[in-house]
């Protein structure tokens, strides 16, 4: 059932070219600008008139929500707030009938996410679900939604569910942008074309597996890790750190790269590995400066860069090259080496990667 892989997590990481395709299937046509999302169509007018979109989720799904904040604000120009479901539900939040609340959940059973959604519903907001498990509690509680179609995810550490969530949220942002007239037809067609290239780019990123295993060998015994990224790669930094801590039990923190000098920089010395996601995008130059700052303090840099980058390899101890893609689609590719890095470190440390201690696949109690 593990399809020849040693663990479900590895199988699920390697399934991503297909699962990403499955989450797009039937929803967009190659070369065209016609998007077909039934759940969106049902609430099209609400999305067009929304004054705000609030995303509620936990863990990895919350990271997918952060990517969606960038996507929806960029493409559809609707203000977005991303909330931890557990905080949102207990803080007497301001919610109105013109708000749309999107719950993101792989299992569709997370207690806090379900409760946050029910609270929003009771205040008259339109509620929308992005779930992987068909017929789950959250899917049933929502007015409309979209399934991620990633297939069953068994490993406790979420991998293919995350990329499927990001794919569906990208399509949703495109739908809203198209209907609100904030996304031009040319830009939309470009994105559709590039989305079709994503599965093969993820496939290419998976070929880095052996190289990443070697990096894992070097760092498997360190007590701490720092992950940095900016823009669309900031949530990827958080996700990389979460993956590492939950399965390898190494303490890891993810930060927006620029926040480093407001505290975490004090942690950096010759023993601190710093994973920087530094692909070619609008914040590239800024990230290069952050790498310089880490290097000046002798931090050990592991950089995820765009293929062909010649600047960062001269500064980093290890470089992981991923294929180039549009800035807004980059999380789908840049997260893959981080999933593999945490997987290999955990295996080398003898950890139970599919069922890490103290964790459950669905958190049905608050």
**Residues designated catalytic:** 361
Q: Which residue lies nearer to ligand M6R by CB, 69 or 321? A: 69
**Does the footprint of ligand M6R cover residue 58 (CB under 6 A)?**
yes
**Which one of 107, 163, 248, 283 is in contact with ligand M6R (CB under 6 A)?**
107
Q: Tell me which stretch binds ligand M6R (CB under 6 A): 40-48, 100-108, 219-227, 347-355.
A: 100-108
Q: Which residue lies nearer to ligand M6R by CB, 222 or 363? A: 363
Q: Which residue lies nearer to ligand M6R by CB, 60 or 126? A: 60
Q: Going edge to edge, which strands form the sheet with 144-147?
A: 80-84, 52-57, 99-105, 126-131, 144-147
Q: Are 65 and 57 in contact (CB under 8 A)?
A: yes
Whole-number Å distance between alpha carbons of 234 and 317: 21
**Which one of 110, 126, 248, 342 is in contact with ligand M6R (CB under 6 A)?**
110
**Which one of 19, 23, 60, 142 is in contact with ligand M6R (CB under 6 A)?**
60
Question: Which residues ranging from 120 to 179 are in contact with ligand M6R (CB under 6 A)?
Answer: 156-158
Nearest alpha-carbon partner for 85 in 107, 71, 157: 107
Q: Are 78 and 49 in contact (CB under 8 A)?
A: no
**Which one of 106, 233, 283, 306 is in contact with ligand M6R (CB under 6 A)?**
106
Q: Are 237 and 229 in contact (CB under 8 A)?
A: yes
Whole-number Å distance between alpha carbons of 245 and 225: 9
Instruction: Tell me the number of residues near ligand M6R by CB under 6 A.
Output: 17
Q: Which residue lies nearer to ligand M6R by CB, 87 or 97? A: 87
Cα-based torsion angle of the residue sequence 228, 230, 234, 240 in order, rounded to the nearest 10 degrees: -30
Q: Are 248 and 342 in contact (CB under 8 A)?
A: yes
> Minimal distance in Å, beta carbon 13 to ligand M6R?
12
Q: Which residue lies nearer to ligand M6R by CB, 141 or 363? A: 363
CA 7 to chain centroid, in Å, comes to 21
Name the residues that contact ligand M6R, by CB under 6 A. 58-61, 105-107, 110, 113, 156-158, 242, 246, 359, 362-363
């Amino acid at each position: 059932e593990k399809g020849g892989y040693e663990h479900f997590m590895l199988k699920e990481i390697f399934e991503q070219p297909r699962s990403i395709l499955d989450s797009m299937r039937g929803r967009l046509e190659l070369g065209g600008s016609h998007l077909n999302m039934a759940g969106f169509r049902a609430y099209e007018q609400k999305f067009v008139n929304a004054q705000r979109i609030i995303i509620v989720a936990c863990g990895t799904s919350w990271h997918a929500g952060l990517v969606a904040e960038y996507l929806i604000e960029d493409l559809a120009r609707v203000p977005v707030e991303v909330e931890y479901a557990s905080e949102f539900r207990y803080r007497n939040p301001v919610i109105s009938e013109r708000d749309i609340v999107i719950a993101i959940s792989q299992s569709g059973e997370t207690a806090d996410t379900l409760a946050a959604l029910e609270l929003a519903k009771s205040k008259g907001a339109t509620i929308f679900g992005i779930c992987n498990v068909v017929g789950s509690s959250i899917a049933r509680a929502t007015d409309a939604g979209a399934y991620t179609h990633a297939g069953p995810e068994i490993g406790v550490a979420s991998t293919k569910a995350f990329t499927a969530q990001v794919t569906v949220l990208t399509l949703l942002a495109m739908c809203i942008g198209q209907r609100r007239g904030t996304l031009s037809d040319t830009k939309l067609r470009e994105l559709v074309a590039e989305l079709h290239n994503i599965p093969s780019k993820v496939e290419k990123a998976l070929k880095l597996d052996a190289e990443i295993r070697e990096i894992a060998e070097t760092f498997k015994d360190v007590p701490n890790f720092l992950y940095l990224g900016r823009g669309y790669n900031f949530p990827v930094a958080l996700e990389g750190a979460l993956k590492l801590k939950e399965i390898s039990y190494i303490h890891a923190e993810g930060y927006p790269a620029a926040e480093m000098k407001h505290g975490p920089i004090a942690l950096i010395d010759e023993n601190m590995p710093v994973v920087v996601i530094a692909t070619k995008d609008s914040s590239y130059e800024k990230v290069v400066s952050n790498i310089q700052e880490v290097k000046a303090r002798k931090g050990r840099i592991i950089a995820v860069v765009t293929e062909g980058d010649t600047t960062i390899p001269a500064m980093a101890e290890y470089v992981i090259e991923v294929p180039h893609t549009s800035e807004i689609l980059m999380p789908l590719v840049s997260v893959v080496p981080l999933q593999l890095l945490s997987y290999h470190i955990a295996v080398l440390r003898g950890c139970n990667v599919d069922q890490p201690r103290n964790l459950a696949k669905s958190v049905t109690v608050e």
